[in-house]
Structure 1
Amino acid sequence: MADIEPAALVRQENRRLAASGTGLRLEIRQQRLGLRGPLPCPKGTPARPVQRISLGLPATGAGVAVALEQLERVRQAVEQGRFSWEPWRRRPPAAAAPAPEVAQAVAPPEAGELRPALAGFEAAFFADPRRRRRPAGSRSTWSGAYRPYLRRLAELAANTRGAAVVDAPLLERVLESYPLASRSRQQCGIALGALARHLQLALPDDWSERSGGYGLHVARFRGLPSDARILELAAAIPNPRWRLAYGLMATYGLRNHEVFFCDLSALAPGGDRVLRVLPTSKTGEHQVWPFQPDWVERFGLEGLAESAVGLPRVCTDLRRTTLQQVGRRVAEQFRRYGLPITPYDLRHAWAVRTIHIGLPDTVAARMMGHSVAIHTRTYHHWITRRDQQQAVDTALARLRPS
């Protein structure tokens, strides 16, 4: 995107929008990006005259990436009847001001230099070519793994006199506001570390150590269910569609939303039963094998091979929903049935199963769609126990008489 002139890029995107039937268009006015198209009348009448929304974003490739995100949010709000002009009226006219959603959800009204810093960070995030290949996953990652910590940053800045400028001490205060050895503290460290790199801020040498420390051992290993308990709980789910979803997560260690974004054709009789998680998922395309393999029949998953209609009726149109919302629907259903475990407990149990059978960590991490570093950190307890047991077995073998 960075290799195309902004004006040409806007024309290209507008042609794509027109082909998709969207009435909204991007436009450049005084080197700033905005939206133009039929929008609800501010006076409340049924008419939808052509109107403009000024985004205040620079006419650059990165700015266009963020502008497209804003256009999609406006389109969805209009279609769902929840569009309001109020956020746009309150937007300050400053040239570097962020898009309205950033201003509302991230930066306080008096944030000063904080606001353009966060807006620029968001623009760079979505302009990353790797993220543009998976827009739905990128939106979900930003919403769940970055925005909450930037919101905390803005709140602390607003409550701290003279903290309108993002600097290393402010980032440290945000990190220290989360409990030690918590998942939120770890994710905060990742998000603020990325922000610091974007702003070229030098963080303390022990930043990674201070933000780390999360592992399943911290949360009582999440009270992971045994295989027998997993099968027992499945029988307690009254809806057969949700039993199938449960079975897929248990057998393949899928994330909540991945249940609905898989190629299930390999489950057909004679198939190799290797699922392909689609590129539209959070971490992109990857393949995953069943552990336990006999659970494919036990849960009756073969019937999903020809069509996924047997799964729960959940909206998966990423023009109208997000991966995070799909995943939240699964978690809500677990609570509705009163299950004493979470969907991620099934995923973690799958991972521990692969450790016990000796699957290499690099292979298991790839199947789970995350890095080896995250895999090692998350499952440190079981990996350490396995490696120590192997060392003990080897040492004892040398003591046995030949």
Structure 2
Amino acid sequence: MPQKSLTIEAINERLKAAKIGVRVYARGARQEKLSLRAVLPPKPGSKRQKPYQQYLSLDVYANPTGLKFAESEAKRIGGLLDQKRFEWDVVAQEVDRSKETCGYWIEKFRQDWLKSQTGDKDAIALSWKEQFWYPAFKWLTPERKLTADLLEQTTLRWKPNSRSLQIGCQKLQRLADFAGIGCNLRSKQGNYSLNKVVRNIPPDDQIIAAIDNINNRGWQWIAGTMATYGLRDHEAFLCEIVYKEYEGESWPIALVPDATKTGNREVFPLPLSWVKRWDLMNIEKPEITARLNKDYGDRTSTQFGRYKIPFRPYDLRHAWNIRAALDLGLPTAVAAQMAGHSATLNLGTYQKHISKVRAAQAYFEALKNNNSGE
């Protein structure tokens, strides 16, 4: 069955074809709020004696969610009018009750959040989905009443002490605070911390062997780019690699665009030899469908599992940061800038996974270079 067109014009055509005497209108200064218009009985206290054309405000926005609600309300009001059961007091109470639902408060929250957003509309819409909808709000049934009990029940869907639970509780708490619902969801977010995550970062020879064995050119290019430039999975899909002149020489630089987690930046290869090893200047990415940055991550993790790579995609980013610190001696602030995070995060999250063997190697190398081992 084809999906219904969600425009005011299409909705009104359907109402007309169904012989329902109610129409949907966009009103307000910017025509952003929806109302119904129909021949309705006089309101209580009115001097009018006979029904006449009136508006019934729905207090919902002219977006897909609001338009669906408006069409369903138009059918319901039309049915009440046909049965001569329309009563202003009853309808007003029912509309007021719709303002207590999850869908109503999520939309109100979104509209308030939009006031602080600037830039490209598509980028803002993507940011909303990644920041709020997918981590938390999609688990709230739009028609259900938003209550403290419902919010607390929703937190049970995530694993204890997980990053997902931590983020979900934080987002739901913001919605609860906005709606004036008293609850303490932050107390349920557990004790997840990046500092408690244990990672076994693969050495370079293991990284080389794993990527060499990827027999799909596109996925080898993605893995090679992540390893060589320390990129997040979605950044590898969205980046370009171009030659740029520095100090009179051409360098293969990864250009990370604005549409990524931390915005545009330039990243140098480490080590340089991997650019040639995996022919990274010859860009060939897998053809996948992805709407969100998260989708790129999911596809990449699946492929790493398929090729039986003995480490996670994100470990390549950790390895690059450790390589920058130990092999190149790159200042933490510079490495953090290239990686697209803070110096504090670089030290606390990435460099903390330096193994004892790698630390010892770095120490003896430093002694040798400084001729101070005598």
Q: Same fold (TM over 0.5)?
A: yes
Give the AA of the match of 2:287: R
* 1:286 aligned onto 2:286: no
Give the AA of the match of 1:118: I
| C-alpha contact 1:57 1:67 (8 A) present in aligned 2 | no
2:234 aligned residue (257, 263, 286): 257
Return the offset for 1:59: 6.2
Q: Tell me which residue corresponds to 1:337.
A: 307
2:100 aligned residue (103, 107, 112): 112
Q: Tell me which residue corresponds to 1:49.
A: none
Give the AA of the match of 2:295: Q
Q: Which runs of 5+ in 1 are unaligned?
A: 1-23, 25-33, 44-51, 74-84, 95-108, 159-163, 305-309, 394-399
Q: Give CA-to-partner distance per residue, 1:41-77, whole Å, 9 cap, x none.
A: 979xxxxxxxx987x897669989x979x57x9xxxx
How many residues in Structure 1 have an aligned counterpart in Structure 2? 306
Return the offset for 1:121: 1.7
Q: Tell me which residue corresponds to 1:79.
A: none
Identity of aligned residues (%): 25
Q: Give CA-to-partner distance per residue, 1:262-295, whole Å, 9 cap, x none.
A: 2322379942333221112233212222222332
Q: How far apart in 2 are the matches of 1:90 and 1:327?
A: 38
Q: How far apart in 1 are the matches of 2:273 and 2:303?
A: 25
Give the AA of the match of 2:201: L
Change (3 A) 1:196 1:179: same
Q: How far apart in 2 are the matches of 1:370 and 1:136?
A: 24
SS at match of 2:252: coil
Return the offset for 1:346: 1.9
Q: Tell me which residue corresponds to 2:286.
A: 312
- Which protein is bigger by CA-based radius of gyration? 2
Matches within 5 A, 1:354-365: 354-357=324-327, 359-365=330-336
SS at match of 1:265: strand
| C-alpha contact 2:241 2:280 (8 A) present in aligned 1 | no
Q: Tell me which residue corresponds to 1:248.
A: 225
Which one has a larger percent strand, Structure 1 or Structure 2?
2
What is the aligned-residue RMSD (CA, Å)? Answer: 5.2
SS at match of 1:301: coil
* 1:146 aligned onto 2:132: yes
Q: How far apart in 2 are the matches of 1:356 and 1:114?
A: 51
Return the offset for 1:253: 1.7
Q: How far apart in 1 are the matches of 2:176 and 2:343?
A: 24
Give the AA of the match of 2:235: E
Q: How far apart in 2 are the matches of 1:92 and 1:361?
A: 61
* 1:191 aligned onto 2:171: yes
Q: How far apart in 2 are the matches of 1:150 and 1:260?
A: 26
Q: Tell me which residue corresponds to 1:351.
A: 321
Give the AA of the match of 2:7: L
Change (3 A) 1:232 1:87: farther
Give the AA of the match of 1:255: R
Q: How far apart in 2 are the matches of 1:272 and 1:63?
A: 54
Return the offset for 1:193: 4.8
Return the offset for 1:231: 0.6
Give the AA of the match of 1:366: Q
| C-alpha contact 1:153 1:171 (8 A) present in aligned 2 | no
Q: How far apart in 1 are the matches of 2:250 and 2:31?
A: 44
Change (3 A) 1:370 1:337: same
Q: How far apart in 1 are the matches of 2:324 and 2:187?
A: 28
| C-alpha contact 1:264 1:276 (8 A) present in aligned 2 | yes
Higher relative contact order (CA 8 A, sep 6+): 1
Return the offset for 1:234: 0.8
Give the AA of the match of 1:367: M
Q: Which runs of 5+ in 2 are unaligned?
A: 16-22, 35-59, 77-96, 365-371
SS at match of 1:275: strand
Q: How far apart in 2 are the matches of 1:378 and 1:208?
A: 24
SS at match of 1:264: strand
Q: How far apart in 2 are the matches of 1:57 and 1:299?
A: 58
Q: How far apart in 2 are the matches of 1:367 and 1:114?
A: 41
Q: How far apart in 1 are the matches of 2:273 and 2:159?
A: 41
Q: How far apart in 1 are the matches of 2:33 and 2:238?
A: 30
SS at match of 2:7: strand
Q: Tell me which residue corresponds to 1:16.
A: none
Matches within 5 A, 1:216-227: 217-218=196-197, 220-221=198-199, 223-227=200-204
Q: Give CA-to-partner distance per residue, 1:199-232, whole Å, 9 cap, x none.
A: 577876x9499555332743x41x4322111110
